[in-house]
Chains A and B, each alone.
Chain A
Amino acid sequence: MNNFREQLADLVDQIRSLREIIITNIVLIGQTPAPTFREKKRSKLFMERLAEFQVDEITTDGYRNPIGIIRGTDASKPPIFVLAHMDTFYEKVHPLNYMIKADTITGAGLLDNSVGVGVMTSLPAIFKKLELKFESDIVLAGTIQSIGKGNLRGVRHLLKTWPTPIRGGVCIEGIELGRLNYYSDGMIRGEIGCIISDESKRLSEYTPNAIIIINEVINKILNLKLSQRPRSRIVIGRINGGANHGRLAPEANLGFEIRSDSYRVVKDLFAEIRDIVEGIGHRYEAEINLKTISNLKAARLKHNHPLVKEAAAVLNALGIKPVTKPTESALSIFLSRKIPAVTLGVTHGENRYKDNATMEIEPMYKGIAQIIGVLKAIDSGVCDEQ
């Protein structure tokens, strides 16, 4: 494996020689809209592109996750998964227009996660160019329904129903190059909605205001005691409500996320928020409800797991400084099923959630080399010994 790691820097130039193919895949995939639950067009395009690159087997699983399989040389080895989520936060369904300049690509949804899917789509052509063979089958999986209310349903189904053991996995995210995620926090995302019904307007002495009620909820949440060990935090991430400047708000919504490296702590905090919501609902006689949008259990590889060590060595060999943080992505589904996996970022970028999300082209070639390095490490057995 050390030998291959030493060659990685040389691979970057060869990967760069496929610049047009890689960028074309990113752009064609990225310009095909794929809001969560409406990924069909992008899935179809992904499969068409894999077919054009003569991937051995192209199919969908029972949940319609599109999958391509590059057959390995040793049928006795379990497959290695490469995974990028198909859906984007971007809600529009009409075709998007990406712009390419000398050093950058710009377009909505690019960084999360058109780059990831575009790079994954390019892997068959890159393997061919580099004359790379793997013992294991390489499963290229574009998972649907990942973001927000999708709650990682696609990857959950894919891994739950996959008929054989899985050797290891690499999840690809657009940014940031250098991220090396190998653990995920426990997490619950919730939404609190408040609606002032006509009845409560009639019965109350003072007509309640949904925004004020949600504000009350926020104040109570901010008073909650958060433990330092296990680490825990609550993020108030999204709020909206009201109709216009001069009218008492008839409804308001609050989106929040609880995270901790202990899922028990997450659940306890969620229960406390539920109590707050119920209490305030009684006090104001308003319809106020709490919904779970998505949840994840905490899971991790040990920091000295051979996959983590080897992945860090691959990044270092390419001159990329590894940055480790928890992630709430598909990685946690791999880890919770005891499948060793890491998440890697492809390149650098900015304006991740804006229409003008922009990626740098040049760092991407190293980003792709690191993915290949980690796949080779898994194929050489770093996940087999645990």
Chain B
Amino acid sequence: MSNNWLDKNTFHYSDFKDLNRLVAEKEKKGLKISLCLPTLNEEKTIAKEIIIMKSELMTRYPLLDEIVVVDSGSSDQTREIARSYGADVYQATDILPQLEQFKGKGENLWKALYITKGDIIIYLDADIKNIHHRFAYGLLGPLLLYDNIRFVKAFYDRPISIGKKKMRPTGGGRVTELVIRPLFSLFFPELTQLIQPLSGEYAGFREVFERIPFPIGYGVETSMNMDIYEKWGLDVMAQVDLDRRIHRNQDTKALGRMAFVILKTFINRKIRLGLIDLKDDLYDEMIQYNLVRDQYEPDIFKIEGYERPPIIEIPDYREKFNVERPEVQKYLEA
């Protein structure tokens, strides 16, 4: 395996800090850009994300055309606060309400495709405590300046020194290093060049996102990497070092459930691609144990792993975005 992609398609956000250049490129190409923030009880962080993005990338530099919040039914003030700072706020259940309803980050991202207007969509988690506009312009840079790049993923510093002044990240979090990286190494060694394949921040062209399925929960990042890689190859992908990201730390049990969903998504993908053949169906319960008064009691989480089809297959979407183009027909027939 060559590391050519890692050298060629890995950037640092500071490569794109000339925002006037990005604005000029956006205008030259006649593109619209949407920022989507999926939320569930994010009242502590949502306002900061909206304000900083609006100040820096809408008021000062017209890079973003809209900021859209898609909420999974927060019980706190998330929606009210987001609305008060001028974001377009939707409840996920109000989007395409005629479809069966699911709850999860992937569901919000998928539905965002229906209500956003952008040719490029930036997805940022809404729990970033040290939010900075680099999170958005860093992801936009490669999409605007390199014609071959259609999807960009973020990665962050967990720095080690590789020279007198140079620092580089070592890799991802626990689930990445213990689950995803071993899987990629076994089945898709090229994808190991993604430093943090599970990072929740990425951006891409609508034509990419509308043609891939979206698992409704944690598996969305895993499936996205694999599907884009399978459909278009690694060269349409890039990754950007966004420096440091501070967010909520999750306990080991929560990470275990995340790993379960990711493994299931991965295996299902392999089956669908005809790369492995399982004799039985996979179970959909994650079983963890708690010690209660000297007894081990099971804690069972049912995680069914629903998946939304590529949204271009939804007639309402095709109608709204007027995508009855011949190549779309060809795609649908295929």
Contacts and interface: CB of A to CB of B under 8 A. Distances in A.
Contacts of A27: 48, 51-52
Contact of B81 (A28, A31, A102): A102
A21 B60 contact: yes
A24 B52 contact: yes
B297 interface: no
Interface stretch (B39-47, B203-211, B263-271): B39-47
B51 A24 contact: yes
Contact of A21 (B44, B55, B244): B55
Contacts of A24: 51-52, 55-56
A347 to B, nearest CB: 16
Contacts of A268: none
Given A20-B51, A23-B55, A95-B130, A102 B246 contact: no
A99 interface: yes
Interface in B36-79: 43-45, 47-48, 51-52, 54-56, 58-60, 77
A100 B48 contact: yes
Interface in A21-67: 21, 23-24, 27-28, 31, 52
A292 interface: no
Contacts of A20: 51-52, 54-55, 58-59, 85-86
Contacts of B54: 20
A78 to B, nearest CB: 32
Interface residues of B, number: 24
Interface residues of A, number: 17
B302 interface: no
B246 A101 contact: no
A98 interface: yes
Given A28-B132, A97-B130, A102 B55 contact: no
B51 A100 contact: yes
Given A31-B130, A102-B77, A102-B84, A23 B44 contact: no
Nearest to A98: B48
Interface string A116-146: 0000000000000000000000000000000
Contact of B47 (A95, A97, A100): A100
Interface string A276-315: 0000000000000000000000000000000000000000
B220 to A, nearest CB: 26
A102 B48 contact: no
8 contacts: A20-B58, A21-B59, A21-B60, A28-B132, A31-B130, A95-B130, A98-B48, A101-B81
Interface of B: 43-45, 47-48, 51-52, 54-56, 58-60, 77, 80-81, 84-86, 129-130, 132, 244, 246
The 7 A-B residue pairs with the shortest CB-CB distance, nearest first, are A20-B55, A100-B47, A24-B55, A97-B129, A20-B54, A21-B55, A100-B48
